Amino acid sequence: MAADTVRGARKAGRYTLLVVLAFIVVFPIYAVVMQAFKTGPGSLDHPRSLLPVDLTLSTVKAAWTQGNLGRLLLNSMFVSLMVTVGVVITSLLAAYAFAFLQFPFKGPMFIAFLATMLVPAEVTVVINERTADSLGWINSFQGLIVPSLASTFGVFLVRQVFLQLPGELREAAALDGVGHLRFLWEVAAPLSRPTLGALGLFTFLGTWNAYLWPSQVIRGDRAHETIQIGLEHLKNNDISKINLVTGGLVVAALPIFIMLVLFQRQLVRGLTAGAVKG
């Protein structure tokens, strides 16, 4: 009896704690979403602004037109898709070479390749901006896309999966006269689909969310801006229009939220691949 009460009290305590913490974590998102669906004074009348009343789409609509959000979303979508496809392809090819082919200096080359993971973008952007400039890629999609087309992490991840495929599979295929590209396409890639999915998801999210490089390579050309750097234009000197930002935030975050709900498993797999395997 007593033990049951203690257990019950403990459970209730745990729930209370969870609810409070969940409220704190989710509050910023909730507040912004609520404000985004209010208009004018309603969005500034705190704390009434937090209640789900007086809801309207007009702020989101205004943000959409004034921020040119449709264009920004399309740009981000295009850039992220291109980078994702590119990274999956370059990673597959390089990982195949490192996993299945014999060539001199393979080991040292792989180590050297991996070592470049240690170089953060914050170091290279200084010079990459110059390179992009000399190629005429400032304010262009090439500038946004091409430098991100190779992923050392991707190569590492895919190679890891390839190495786990039984070697006899490649040998059996070789006896049948299956060439490298065909084996990659018909056997190795399909068998690595979960990992490729995680890699693709991560590349997409990373590109979609990137800030530093786009902010440097796109200099005020509104036609090529991604949503991440374009949102800033909604910050207005007119402080009363601050809720335009909230409208923009909802539009910018929604696609990612939807993606994450759809691909939750791949996300966790990808996140933990780095942490658990190392």
Which residues, 62 to 121, sit near another protein by CB under 8 A? 89-91, 93-94, 96-98, 101-104, 106, 109, 113, 116, 118-121
Counts of helices then strands in the chain (DSSP H, E): 16, 0
Footprint of another protein on residues 199-228 (CB under 8 A)?
A: 208-212, 215-216, 228
160: tokens are: 């890891």
Cβ of residue 195: shortest distance to another protein, in angstroms?
14
Give the count of beta carbons closer than 10 Å to the beta carbon of residue 72. 24
Q: Which residue has the tokens 């090819």?
A: 93
Q: Does residue 11 bind another protein (CB under 8 A)?
A: yes
Q: Which is closer to another protein, CB of 61 or CB of 130?
A: 130
Instruction: Report how far apart, in Å, the C-alpha atoms of 10 and of each of 5, 6, 16, 187 are.
Output: 8, 6, 10, 53
Draw the binding track, 25-64, toward another protein (x: CB under 8 A; -: no contact): xx-xx-xx--x--------x-xx-xx--------------
Backbone dihedral region for residue 45 (phi beyond 0: left; psi -120 to 50: alpha; all else: beta): beta
Q: Which is closer to another protein, CB of 107 or CB of 120?
A: 120
Residue type, position 94, single letter: A
Q: Does residue 15 bind another protein (CB under 8 A)?
A: yes
Draw the binding track, 120-159, toward another protein (x: CB under 8 A; -: no contact): xxxxxxxxx-xx--------------xx-xx-x--x----
Footprint of another protein on residues 227-266 (CB under 8 A)?
A: 228-229, 231-232, 235, 239-240, 242-243, 245-246, 248-249, 252-253, 256-257, 260
Query: By CB under 8 A, how many residues form the interface with another protein?
Result: 103
Q: What is the DSSP letter of 239?
A: G
Footprint of another protein on residues 182-201 (CB under 8 A)?
A: 182, 186-187, 190-191
Q: Does residue 13 bind another protein (CB under 8 A)?
A: no
What is the full DSSP assignment across 5-32? Answer: HHHHHHHHHHHHHHHHHHHHHHHHHHHH
Q: Does residue 271 bind another protein (CB under 8 A)?
A: yes
CA distance 178 to 96: 14
Q: Please, what is the angle between helix 69-100 and helix 106-115, to 10°? A: 150
CA distance 87 to 48: 47
Cβ of residue 97: shortest distance to another protein, in angstroms?
4
Q: Which is closer to another protein, CB of 57 or CB of 121?
A: 121
